[in-house]
Structure 1
Amino acid sequence: MLIGALAQTVGLPSQTIRFYERRGLLHPPIRGGNGYRCYDDAAITRLDLIRAAQAAGLTLAQIRGIVDLRDHGEAPCTHVAELIDSKLVDVRRRLSELTALEAELEQLRERGRRLDPADCTNTDVCHILARHG
């Protein structure tokens, strides 16, 4: 199939497919006599994998590592599991940070509701955000 048909099938712009080719995520397609790219069903499978990996939060470099393992005849499952474990640790850390930020914002919102803007001094840019001991 031509790149336009592939793009429509997988729901990606043709430019994205070309980008993935340049980054080594997608095998270079066979070129027809007219120079057009001709893709097979393996390209659909690979693009589906790329999208699923991105949805899981993996970077293009990490995805490249996965497809390189597969392209060299190795099953990348152990590597993928390690990447997912690492991503999960990162997500949990970020959730903890966001929970702390949420609590801080709640406190600032409550402070803002209690304070009178007329009480703001010239030295305070905004007394809601000013440090109070």
Structure 2
Amino acid sequence: MASAPQPAAEQPPAEQPPALDPEDLPFSLGRIQKAMARPSTVRLELDRPVFRTEVIGRKPTIEDILGPDFARGAASHGGMTHQEFLNMVTPKDVQGYAAFSNGEALTVAATSFVMQWALQRAVQRFEDANT
């Protein structure tokens, strides 16, 4: 069975708070009214947005930004080159010869050796033919 809502009991009227004397307030209503009567120092221009911000904190120093050793300057000669990196990570036994890889360096060395030997033989035969 559903019960019908019961009529609310009549409540006594709320007591009116006591009237406050403006002299007892912790602030001055007169000063507030004078400040409100003055023209505003902030002029709002409706054609452009106005953004305001407040920063609370310590102003960073140059040491905070650049670090404690900023007087020493930048690293000498900039960053590492690719060849410096390769020299650092490649063992000396397998590093290439100048502009050549190890296989190319072997070919250059063998060709140079054969050319020198052939030239010496040619000079020797020329001298033998003239004597």
TM-score, L = length of structure 1: 0.25
The higher relative CO (CA closer than 8 Å, separation ≥ 6) is in 1
TM-score, L = length of structure 2: 0.25
* Higher Rg: 2
Structure with more of its chain in helix, by fraction: 1
